[in-house]
């Protein structure tokens, strides 16, 4: 009789522990997902890019919507132009659209105009806003109102074909800055781990000069660059992408 009671108690304890572990794993996973952020170049949509098959789906250029490869549909992101600190809230309309991995997202002409982006150098910071964020609760209504206005309003003639081509700039001209970017591979707690990553890059790719930057006694960053030309930057980005890193970032002036 006692054995049966003990067995029952043990079984209940085991099941509760499993449920708690699963819950903890789910919370950790959700926490990591909610922390997503990326700095890099964005691709501004145009019908010309779609005809060239550089983007596989059309998007309304008046909207406050974006394409993203990793974030789930209907999630919200905050996009910031780091040059002027202008920000805008946008919604991920699809994560199944094909475009170059070099770009962290595809935005509309409306968003580019609102951020006063330099279209020859459309560099942005992108941060996922968690679903339970009070920020979302406060901004959801405002976003929907802005979205309706944006969809009705005309875009003031922003013509965007591709980087380096003839581009009509947005109304507000951003200040000039020199081009210098680096590719952030990852941050490591131990210097030996950073060295191992550097050796792997040298061994498995054509890149032979990765840099290890000491940020603190417990933080070592592996970088490629700096690059002063966007084509060389994109070539190295595509080369290192073959190692299947999850969230490569492009950092300015590091």
Q: Domain 36-152 classified CATH 3.40.220.10?
A: no
Say what the pLDDT of residue 151 is.
57
Contact criterion met (CB below 8 Å) for 211 and 183: no
C-alpha span between 131 and 187 (Å, rounded): 27
Is a pLDDT exceeding 70 seen at residue 81? yes
Higher pLDDT, 188 or 179: 188
Contact criterion met (CB below 8 Å) for 116 and 44: no
**Percent of the chain clearing pLDDT 90 (strictly above):** 60
Is a pLDDT exceeding 90 seen at residue 133? no
Average pLDDT over residues 203-207: 94
Unique residue bearing structure tokens 């789906």: 57
Average pLDDT over residues 188-195: 96
Say what the pLDDT of residue 244 is.
86
Cα-based distances in Å from 182 to 38, 41, 133, 134: 13, 12, 31, 34
Is a pLDDT exceeding 50 seen at residue 33? no
Side by side, the strands of the sheet bearing 211-216 are: 211-216, 219-227, 181-188, 249-252
Q: How many residues does the chain have?
A: 254
Any idea which architecture 181-252 has in CATH? 2-Layer Sandwich (3.30)
Q: List the structure tokens of 172.
A: 């507000």
Helix (H) or strand (E) holding 26: helix 2-34
Cα 53 versus chain centre, distance: 22
Higher pLDDT, 140 or 77: 77
Say what the pLDDT of residue 35 is.
78
Cα-based distances in Å from 241 to 66, 139, 201, 253: 22, 35, 11, 21
Each residue of 215-247: pLDDT tens digit? 999 999 999 999 998 899 999 999 998 898 888
Q: List the structure tokens of 252.
A: 């300015």
Say what the pLDDT of residue 130 is.
78
Q: List the structure tokens of 68.
A: 């993203």
Domain ranges of the chain: 36-152, 181-252
Q: For residue 157, what is the DSSP state?
A: -
Q: What is the mean pLDDT of the chain?
A: 80
Task: Let me know if the fold of 36-152 is the same as that of 181-252.
Answer: no
Among 41, 36, 174, 163, CA closest to 101: 41
Is a pLDDT exceeding 50 seen at residue 93? yes
Is a pLDDT exceeding 50 seen at residue 25? no
Say what the pLDDT of residue 168 is.
44
C-alpha span between 124 and 21 (Å, rounded): 37
**Percent of the chain clearing pLDDT 70 (strictly above):** 68
Among 125, 120, 123, CA closest to 169: 120
Is a pLDDT exceeding 80 seen at residue 30? no
Cα-based distances in Å from 244 to 131, 188, 205, 253: 28, 17, 12, 25
Say what the pLDDT of residue 167 is.
38
SS3 content of the chain, % helix, strand, coil (to 5): 35, 25, 40
C-alpha span between 167 and 31 (Å, rounded): 40
Is a pLDDT exceeding 60 seen at residue 29? no
Higher pLDDT, 169 or 147: 147
């Amino acid at each position: 009789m006692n054995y049966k009671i003990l067995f029952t108690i043990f079984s209940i304890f085991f099941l509760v522990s499993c449920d708690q572990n699963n819950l903890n794993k789910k919370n950790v996973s959700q926490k990591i997902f909610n922390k997503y952020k990326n700095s890099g170049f964005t691709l501004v949509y145009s019908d010309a890019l779609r005809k060239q098959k550089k983007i596989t789906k059309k998007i309304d250029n008046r909207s406050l919507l974006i394409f993203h490869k990793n974030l789930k549909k209907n999630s919200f992101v905050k996009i910031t132009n780091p040059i002027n600190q202008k920000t805008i809230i946008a919604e991920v309309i699809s994560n199944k659209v094909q475009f170059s991995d070099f770009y962290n997202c595809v935005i509309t002409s409306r968003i580019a105009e609102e951020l006063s982006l330099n279209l020859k150098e459309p560099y942005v910071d992108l941060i996922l806003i968690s679903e339970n964020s009070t920020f979302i609760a406060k901004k959801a209504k405002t976003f929907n109102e802005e979205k309706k206005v944006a969809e009705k309003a005309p875009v003031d003639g922003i013509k965007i074909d591709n980087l380096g081509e003839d581009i009509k700039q947005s109304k507000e001209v951003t200040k000039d800055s020199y081009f210098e970017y680096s590719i952030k591979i990852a941050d490591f707690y131990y210097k030996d781990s950073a060295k191992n990553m550097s050796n792997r890059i040298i061994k498995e790719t054509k890149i032979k000069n990765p840099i290890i930057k000491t940020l603190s006694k417990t933080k070592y960053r592996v970088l490629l660059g700096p690059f002063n030309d966007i084509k060389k930057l994109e070539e190295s980005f595509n080369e290192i992408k073959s190692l299947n890193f999850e969230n490569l970032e492009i950092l300015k002036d590091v």
